[in-house]
A and B are shown apart, each in its own frame.
Chain A
Amino acid sequence: MSDTPSAKGQEFERTLDQSAKEVARFKRDRHSPLERIQHVLHNNPTLVPVIVLAISVIAFGLIAGGRFFSAFNLSLILQQVSIIGILAAAQSLIIITAGIDLSVAAIMVLMSVIMGNLAVFAGVPSPLAILIGLGGGVGAGMMNGWLITRIKLPPFITTLGTWSIFYALLLWLSGAQSIRGQDIDANAPFLKFFGFAFNIGGARITLSAILMIVVFVVLWYMLNKTAWGRHVYAIGDDKDAAEMSGIRTDRTLMSVYGLSGLVCALAGWASIGRVGSISPQSFYEGNLDSITAVVIGGISLFGGRGSIMGALFGALIVGVFRSGLRLSGVDVLWQVFAIGWLIIIAVAIDQWIRRVSA
């Protein structure tokens, strides 16, 4: 679980090493090569998305050639997945606790509308408007957390409800109207901060892509290097056991939902720069896209398993497939078709990995 994005190879070798020793020691004849693979994946569920990402990049590089495999196109993919990627980070936090959050995209868009209304129309200074939006994200997340921990509602139903509630609120606050890019530029250009881009070689890097990477690295650190993170995993693994071993589970869950809401609001701010305007209709399927990235990233929907970095790779895989299939001249419907199969295969692999026995 503690895999750094940079130390993939070593991690892989280490787990492989361990598993081979075990074979020699206890169960010489019961471990087929397939079971050994199962063990390796079990110890490092992020390996699957890393391999899939590598293979799909190479495959599309071969099929679509230089158009796909250019620094410009690869950086474009990064840019395109940045918002869904950040949402997927928020979603990962929830899914690791064995929950699910259908309201992430609604929180994101609602907070971007609030930031826009305050800064563009109400004359509130942009930094303050952004702070209020980020605070609102924490509040919206904690509302989910409160319903789930205090009222004891299942996360799926709770966030299905709050999805509608937040969506209705954002339609009401925006009057179902977009805030145009020119108005933002004129009154509150700072809202577009994460749309800023610079060129390195042929690559075009936007700040929203950098924000995505930073969000993942920070959350990875929190989940893997702090006690709080260990508790989040323990809760997803077995909540009763976590409670009995001295974790204040409800308090931890509240912090997870609050943090997730904050990350959604951050995605909302970044989306203003990425899209260039604030549209209440944007990212309507963002919640499902975020779940897709998490699942393809090898994070178990049953909780307690998988690295948050998997969700980053999951988001990138989706981006690579979309871009690669488009550049290969494949109809959009087949892109959707392919993503569908990716989800099913990812969940099937997760089921298989979790069946690993002692």
Chain B
Amino acid sequence: MSSDMTPVVQARGIVKRYGHVTAIDQSDFELRPGEILAVIGDNGAGKSSIVKAICGATIPDEGEILIEGKPVNFTSPIEAREMGIEIVYQNLALSPALSIADNMFTGRELRKPGWMGKYLRLLDKPAMEKFARDKLTELGLMTVQSIKQPVETLSGGQRQGVAVARAAAFATKFIIMDEPTAALGVKESRKVLELIQDVRARGIPIILISHNMPHVFEVADRIHIHRLGKRLCTIDPKDYTMSDAVAFMTGAKEPPAQDAA
């Protein structure tokens, strides 16, 4: 991890309107190197909207976004992905009938070297399967029997694992995870939280959207509290309790004074 403190993501004055609804209302956002930044807020506060604006899944109406200090204007998540930004969507974005290996490489498949790959566009399935197996093993997820198994035959936690492994395998800048533990049981949630910490340990910062306060307080380095379409404040989980965070989130308590970063 470099000690260079240029934020990985810095967004200022982001606005996104859908007709009369203002999903993002002049919001700021900052992600620092090597950290897990939790994003919390009420339902409909605009958490998903702000991270989608950062990764090109929606195009903001106003505002600027800097990635590692350089302004970007993504028009699709594919462009963000090409910069090494990965997203684990709330609904995972996996294709159930395709294999684990196919899913890990959707949209960036490897072709065989030489003319077979060049002219016949032949996929290099062994290479993709090996890579997928290595990545899952690295993350301690090789409890699945076969990398060729269709994703729909996996449990919820295993699927989440595949989605996280895919993001971890290809991310070089940062990973966004939208509610990764929302649909999981206790044991599976634990596994995913461990995964998240594993990924941070490799120096990849993570934006974690979650409703689950114990999970947030367990893994987050900082907490971004989102309210009514914008960032209300960011807090250090060591300085506040979970009930403080919920109180800020719901407006029951005034946020602490911030040095606007």
A305 to B152, CA, bound (A): 12
Q: Which of B23-31, B96-104, B197-205, B208-216 contacts A (4 or more CB under 8 A)?
A: B96-104
Known A-B contacts A238-B95, A247-B107, A358-B152; the reply to A18 vs B145 at CB < 8 A is yes
6 closest Cβ pairs, A-B complex = A246-B107, A227-B109, A244-B93, A234-B95, A237-B95, A245-B106
Contact B77–A246 (Cβ < 8 Å): yes
A190 to B85, CA, bound (A): 55
Residues of B within 8 A of A304 (CB): 95-98
**Is B241 at the interface (CB under 8 A from chain A)?**
no
Known A-B contacts A234-B98, A245-B93, A246-B108; the reply to A226 vs B123 at CB < 8 A is yes
B124-172 interface (Cβ within 8 A of A): 145-146, 149-150, 152-155
A21 to B153, CA, bound (A): 14
Q: Which of A18, A226, A233 contacts B121 (CB 8 A)?
A: A226
Residues of B within 8 A of A51 (CB): none
**Is B89 at the interface (CB under 8 A from chain A)?**
yes
A221-262 interface (Cβ within 8 A of B): 221, 225-228, 230-231, 233-234, 237-238, 240-242, 244-248
User: Which of B91, B95, B98 neighbours the largest number of chain A CB atoms within 10 Å of its CB?
Assistant: B95
Known A-B contacts A230-B102, A230-B106, A230-B123; the reply to A242 vs B95 at CB < 8 A is yes
A270 to B203, CA, bound (A): 60
Contact B106–A246 (Cβ < 8 Å): yes
Residues of B within 8 A of A43 (CB): 150
Instruction: Report the nearest A residue to B78, measured CB to CB.
Output: A246
Known A-B contacts A21-B145, A227-B121, A358-B154; the reply to A244 vs B96 at CB < 8 A is no
Contact A227–B111 (Cβ < 8 Å): yes
A300-334 interface (Cβ within 8 A of B): 304-305
A289 to B96, CA, bound (A): 29
A245 to B86, CA, bound (A): 10
Residues of A within 8 A of B78 (CB): 246, 248
C-beta contact mask, A60-81 vs B, less than 8 Å → 1, else 0? 0000000000000000000000
Q: Which of A221, A305, A358 contacts B153 (CB 8 A)?
A: A358
**Is B226 at the interface (CB under 8 A from chain A)?**
no
**Is B83 at the interface (CB under 8 A from chain A)?**
no
Known A-B contacts A244-B89, A246-B106, A246-B107; the reply to A233 vs B95 at CB < 8 A is yes
Q: How far is the CB of B201 from chain A (nearest CB, A)?
A: 25
Q: How far is the CB of A239 from chain B (nearest CB, A)?
A: 10
Residues of B within 8 A of A247 (CB): 106-107
15 sample A-B contacts, Cβ–Cβ < 8 Å, listed by A number = A25-B145, A42-B150, A43-B150, A225-B123, A230-B106, A231-B106, A233-B95, A237-B98, A241-B91, A242-B95, A242-B106, A244-B87, A246-B81, A246-B107, A358-B155
Q: A231-B107, A246-B81 are in contact. List 10 more A-B contacts (CB 8 A).
A: A25-B145, A230-B123, A237-B95, A238-B94, A238-B95, A240-B91, A244-B87, A245-B95, A358-B152, A358-B154
